[in-house]
Structure 1
Amino acid sequence: MAHAYDSARQQFADWGVDTEAALAALAAIPISMHCWQGDDVKGFERKSGTAGGGIQATGNHPGRARNVAELRADMEFAYAQIPGKHRLNLHAFYMDTDESPDRDAIEYRHFAPWVEWAKSRGLGLDFNPTFFAHPKADDNLTLSHPDAGIRDFWVEHGKRSREIAAQMGAALGSPVVNNVWVPDGSKDTPVDRMAARRRLEASLDAMMATPLPKTQMRDAVESKLFGIGVESCTVGSHEFYLGYAIRRGIILCLDMGHFHPTENVADKLSSVALSVDELLLHVSRPVRWDSDHVVLLNDDLLAMAQELVFADLLGRTHIGLDFFDATISRTAAWVIGTRNMQKALLRALLLPQARLKAAEEALDYTTRLILTEEAKDLPFAAVWEEFCARADVPTGAALLARLATYQTSVAQRG
């Protein structure tokens, strides 16, 4: 192993790339792993409505987490297979309490056990108000609902979520990204899109009216192209939230599954980064729509990672995952997806960036193309193996065996 890495290190050095610097940079990048992969986006409330907005985990593979204890055990196993220090992205309907508060009555104490658990394991937390899977969201309208009473209910939920996120950030000493996504939209063609968007804007303004310390909590908003049940209009479109994030000076979330499958989401980063200070990235993989497949080490992911590195956006971007596949081992999905994001980042960090940019600046596109293609043959895998070895996590057949053994241990859950 050491010989393979030493050889790879020299090959990269010949291209002007320092593998040790790349490994150090990768180790400093936390990925926010999403809790909802572990239980198929069901949450732990005692009452709920339909998911809505196109959210649907398909499949019935055995091993779904049925309670907080099982979910935490699964996540602990997954984190142990992933090199580096990371975060947990928590949705509001994953509270840990014997109480049954409605969404407009949640408080920090309902999530305090999550904070203590995260603290004991050196994890950061991120948070999301849950604007779906509730009777008052079954018509796919929340913050833009024509009924002021329903809007007020969801505004209050959003306010409390922000306060909870801020308290989490204060307790952990790390700011929590509080991301707002709503399923609001229309199955058929609306006649007054403006009215719905004005209501959404006013609700967001009311929800975020109270300033909270950025050292504790950061507001983010997330757009979507469409979903099942909202095929003809999504109120919170990309254009809506881009403008809103700029006006409010908050984080813009780009979800790789929330655009047309043929759109290059990586290409959007350098454009929006000129107008917003911070970005939130939800790493997902659409196949036909926002189908939230486990991310692969494919061209889309590699392009996203390269843009983050080459545009110097890592320090301004919060990276999270968002997929939910119930046809495979849920713990394996976490491990594969998170490690693929890391692999993509490592490959970007190991590219001869200075030489590539110099060729482009000189309009020497031939050299740029040669460099780009020849770099594909560099021994990235040996550097990744070294990264995992230093973190004492398995790769290859050893990883497969460990994932299979754990899946066998949880399969009796049904």
Structure 2
Amino acid sequence: MTSSSRLETAYALAVEQYQSVGVDVEAALARLRDVSVSVHCWQGDDVAGFENTGQTLGSGLAVTGNYPGRARNPEELRSDLEKAYALIPGSHRLNLHAIYGEFDEPVERNEIGVEHFQGWIEWARGQGVQLDFNPSYFSHPNADDGFTLAHPDSGIRDFWIEHGIACRRIAAAMGKAQDSPCMNNFWVPDGYKDLPADRTAPRKRLADSLDRIFAESMNASETLDSVECKLFGIGSESYVVGSHEFYMGYAITRNKVLCLDAGHFHPTEVISDKISSTLLYVPELLLHVSRGVRWDSDHVVTMSDELQAIMQEIVRGDYLNRVHIGLDFFDASINRVSAWVIGTRNTLKALLMALLEPRDELQRLEQEGDFTSRLALMEEQKTMPFGAVWDYYCETAGVPFGRNWMSAVADYESSVLSRRSESHPETVATA
């Protein structure tokens, strides 16, 4: 029996088993095919960007590791992304930061324009990839003291406000070019390393700065504004201006998308529990799926309990049309293309597992008060033949199933990545 026939046989048996508990496998796969994960560009080059100013990574961000083959320019990064996309089933997006423009000469961040991202727009069109965007409020002299939009100096605040306005216009141009809204996410690192004497004034300044950035009306069919909260960061351990409560209130009162990052909360908090609550009050959510290990350390996404819980909440609440799934991790200690593939495939696997739940039956048992059967069914679901369905999905999507993708990355490392001669020092910490 060939591997293809074994796969089809295993899939047919899985379909039969899922049918026995009332799950339509083909319907689940159809829904999965419609989901586009926003893959983050900064895994490919360790969040260095292409400004070429010599400015080191800062504002609470850094990357650990020095694995060879880091992308050094847009062409190399796009090549690496194409390899990763070829090993991930489905059609997915790309999330760009403002520091990834193509600059022939140094351009201040408050002066960037769509012309600096035209190469990305054209590449994305050719690849069938849609773009998302982010202003970059870090790794810049005007962010060296840990403050940007909440800075007490009005001149520095104005600089970063102008950067935010420029980025909104770039995102709108991207969305118009691709006929799909470009999510433009605002993460601002402002905060204090030690205890502040005044928590209120910086938050008032941040709210005012954001209001000025968002003053220009934008077409929702072209771009959506998202705001991202954080508990703490390197250099802002005691106080982050843009806390969860700050941005929750801001998103509600300004009708913005709220971004929940899996690594941005206390180690005992999870974002899966926040999805149903926040969607009672905000129009849409953006998720940055990551994996913090004891703190916000942005590890490659693995098939963890929390990842599965996030996807279960999205499916059980019927939120797929209101939740945008993006990734946010960076690891320079392993092959960077593999990191993209592992993290994105795991995200899709967890979503497929959630789509294969007998949701209606579970919710019926709950409504009837039969909590014993609810728990029993949830536990039995864990040994259902999900793997056979995933392998079939990969095969029909034209990408390797199982561990077969690993040889493709090894070949790419041998023929492409190993030929990049640049060595770069190991850096430490995280976002």
TM-score after normalising by structure 1: 0.99
Q: Any conservation in 1 of the 2:315–2:354 contact (CA below 8 Å)?
A: yes
Asked whether 1:329 is paired with 2:339, we answer no
Taking the aligned partners of 2:404 and 2:205, their CA distance within structure 1 comes to 53
1:358 aligns with 2:364: yes
- 2:83 matches 1:77: yes
User: Over residues 105-158 of structure 1, what are the superposed CA-to-partner deviations in whole Å (9 max), with x where a residue is unaligned?
Assistant: 001101011000000111110000000010000111000000000000000000
- What is the total number of aligned residue pairs between the two structures? 414
Pairing 1:42–2:51 present: no
**Structure-2 residue corresponding to 1:314:** 320
Secondary structure of 2:292's partner?
coil
Q: Which amino acid aligns with 2:231?
A: L
1:120-199 to 2 correspondence within 5 Å? 120-199=126-205
Amino acid at match of 1:54: G
Q: Is the 8 A contact 2:63 2:330 kept in 1?
A: yes
- The aligned residue for residue 426 of structure 2 is none
Q: Which of 390, 397, 400 is matched with 1:394 structurally?
A: 400
33, 36, 59: which one aligns with 2:39: 33
Partner of 1:22: 28
* Distance (whole Å) between structure 1 residues aligned to residue 68 and residue 304 of structure 2: 28
Question: Hey, what's the Cα distance between the residues in 2 that align with 1:359 and 1:39?
Answer: 49
Structure 2 segments unaligned to the other structure (5+ residues): 1-6, 424-431
SS in structure 2 at match of 1:96: coil
2:3 maps to: none
Q: Which amino acid aligns with 2:48?
A: K
**1:178 and 1:232 mapped to 2: Cα distance?**
27
- Structure 1 match to 2:240: 234
Q: C-alpha offsets along residues 278-327 of structure 1, whole Å, 9 cap, x if unaligned?
A: 00000000002110000001101000000000011110011100000000
Equivalence for 1:119? 125
SS at match of 2:18: helix
**Aligned residue type for 2:100:** Y
Report Cα offsets for 1:235-265 as digits up to 9, x if no partner.
0000000000000001000000101122121
Per-residue deviation, 1:407: 2.0
What is the root-mean-square deviation of aligned Cα atoms in Å? 0.9
Q: Distance in 1 between matches of 2:406 and 2:132?
A: 29
Residue 280 of structure 1 aligns to a residue whose secondary structure is strand
Corresponding residue number in structure 1 for 2:4 = none
Distance 1:49 1:243 in 2: 34
| Matched residue, 1:412 | 419
Identity of matched residues, %: 57
In structure 1, stretches of 5+ residues that fail to align are none
Per the alignment, residue 217 of structure 2 pairs with: 211
1:260 is the counterpart of 2:263: no
After alignment, is 254-263 or 48-57 more displaced?
Answer: 48-57
Residue 397 of structure 1: CA displacement? 3.5
Q: Does 1:9 align with 2:12?
A: no
| 8 Å contact kept, 1:36–1:42 | yes
Residue identity opposite 1:177 in structure 2? M
In structure 2, C-alpha distance between the alignment counterparts of 1:178 and 1:51, rounded to whole Å: 21
**What is the CA-CA distance between 1:48 and the residue it aligns to?**
5.2
- After the TM superposition, which residues 362-377 of structure 1 pair with which residues of structure 2 at under 5 Å, given as runs? 362-377=368-383
Indicate whether 1:276 and 2:294 are aligned.
no
Q: Residues of 2 paired with 1:371 and 1:175: CA distance?
A: 39
TM superposition shift of 1:46: 2.0
Matching of residue 59 in structure 1 with residue 34 in structure 2: no
Preserved contact between residue 124 and residue 172 of structure 1 (Cα < 8 Å)? yes
In the alignment, which of 305, 321, 325 is matched to residue 299 of structure 1? Answer: 305
CA distance in 1 between counterparts of 2:409 and 2:267 reads: 30
Could you tell me which amino acid in structure 2 is paired with residue 111 of structure 1? F
The amino acid across from 1:305 in the alignment is M
SS in 2 for 1:314: coil
Tell me if the contact between 1:50 and 1:138 (Cα under 8 Å) persists in the aligned partners.
Answer: no
The whole-number CA distance in structure 2 between the counterparts of 1:166 and 1:330 is 30
Is residue 37–residue 325 contact of structure 1 (8 Å, CA) maintained in 2?
A: yes
- Matched with 1:344 is 350
Tell me the distance in 2 between the aligned counterparts of 1:348 and 1:319: 14
Q: Which stretch shows the higher mean deviation, 229-238 or 259-268?
A: 259-268
Measure how far apart 1:54 and its partner are.
Answer: 2.3
Distance 1:48 1:291 in 2: 24
4+ runs deviating over 6 angstroms: none
1:363-402, CA deviations, whole angstroms, 9 ceiling, x for partnerless residues? 1110011101111110000000010000110122321211
TM-score by length of 2: 0.95
